[in-house]
Amino acid sequence: MKPLLSLRDLRAAFPGPDGPVEVLRGVDLDIAAGEKVALVGESGSGKSVTARAVLRLDRDADLTGRATLDGADLLTLSEREMRAVRGARIGLVFQDPLASLNPVMTIGWQIMQPLLIRGVRRKEARRRGVDLLGRLGVRDADRRFDDYPHQFSGGMRQRVVIAIAVIAEPALLIADEPTTALDVRVQAQVLTLLRELADERSMAVLLITHDLGIVAGFADRVVVMRHGAPVEEGPVDEIYAEPKHPYTRGLLASVPRIDDDPSRRLSTVDDVPAALEGGAR
């Protein structure tokens, strides 16, 4: 089956004081329609830049390679064509819900925008917005629709951000650390909702996270990134049961587990002996 999103040798370089700095060094990644993929790796490994490259959000990034959505190369589309992709074909959720919301507009207005700019009538947009907000676990959604972001808690705001990202029914949702700013209990709720919503709509999800602990219940497949390129990928169960790359083993070893012996120090990725590195690439 042809993938929905396909990245081939995707490279990104940013201008630096001594010339271009290559941040993505050849990313190959496929996501099928409806598939949930987790992109994991430590801070700075290039996860966010990959997501932003797909949406062409970094204007100063020099992008090469291919990034096709349904066969169309996103890297060659005009800025106008890209605007039609963002929101409609690919929804986006970032980590910080406050930064993603406009403080002076009601949350309902913001949820309806993706529909209104695509010609959906106001009454219908409101009906769909209220429905979705309720579906995302906001009680009294009809009344809360006219509230402003500051009247919502952090977890509620992130539900609003998710509503904005999915209301136009994109084929792919890119969620970059969508729950990192939330407390653990709310994290689990939001991820469960996201998964249910994705299943209902056969929406593909690229979940970006440095937290391997939240991946198991969410994704079908895991791609592990390091230094700007994937080093390992496979079904979640396989990666957890039998990580092949030493870096993945290190990442997994640093996930705190309930059955951990508290007297044992948590290992970190840096504990992977240098001699092991590179051996499994």
Residues that bind ligand ATP in the complex, under the rule CB under 6 A: 14, 23, 41, 43-49, 58, 210
- Name which of 61 and 136 has its Cβ closer to ligand ATP: 61
- Name which of 33 and 57 has its Cβ closer to ligand ATP: 57
- Name which of 230 and 243 has its Cβ closer to ligand ATP: 230
Least separation in angstroms between residue 98's CB and ligand ATP is 17
Least separation in angstroms between residue 99's CB and ligand ATP is 14
CA distances from 179 to 5, 62, 114, 211 (A): 23, 29, 23, 10
- Name which of 58 and 142 has its Cβ closer to ligand ATP: 58
Written as one string, the DSSP assignment of the chain is: ---SEEEEEEEEEEEETTEEEEEEEEEEEEE-TT-EEEEE--TTSSHHHHHHHHTT--TT-EEEEEEEETTEEGGGS-HHHHHHHBTTTEEEE-S-HHHHS-TTS-HHHHHHHHHHTTT--HHHHHHHHHHHHHHTT-TTHHHHTT--GGGS-HHHHHHHHHHHHHTT--SEEEEESTTTTS-HHHHHHHHHHHHHHHHHHT-EEEEEES-GGGTTTT-SEEEEEETTEEEEEEEHHHHHH---SHHHHHHHHTS--TT--TTSPPP-GGGS-TTTTTTT-
- Name which of 228 and 246 has its Cβ closer to ligand ATP: 228
Least separation in angstroms between residue 206's CB and ligand ATP is 12
- Name which of 57 and 253 has its Cβ closer to ligand ATP: 57
- Name which of 197 and 229 has its Cβ closer to ligand ATP: 229
- Name which of 57 and 216 has its Cβ closer to ligand ATP: 57
Least separation in angstroms between residue 129's CB and ligand ATP is 30
Least separation in angstroms between residue 181's CB and ligand ATP is 13
Least separation in angstroms between residue 97's CB and ligand ATP is 16
- DSSP lists the bridge partners of residue 15 as 20
| Cα–Cα distance measured from residue 64 to residue 9, given in angstroms and rounded to the nearest whole number | 8
Least separation in angstroms between residue 202's CB and ligand ATP is 27
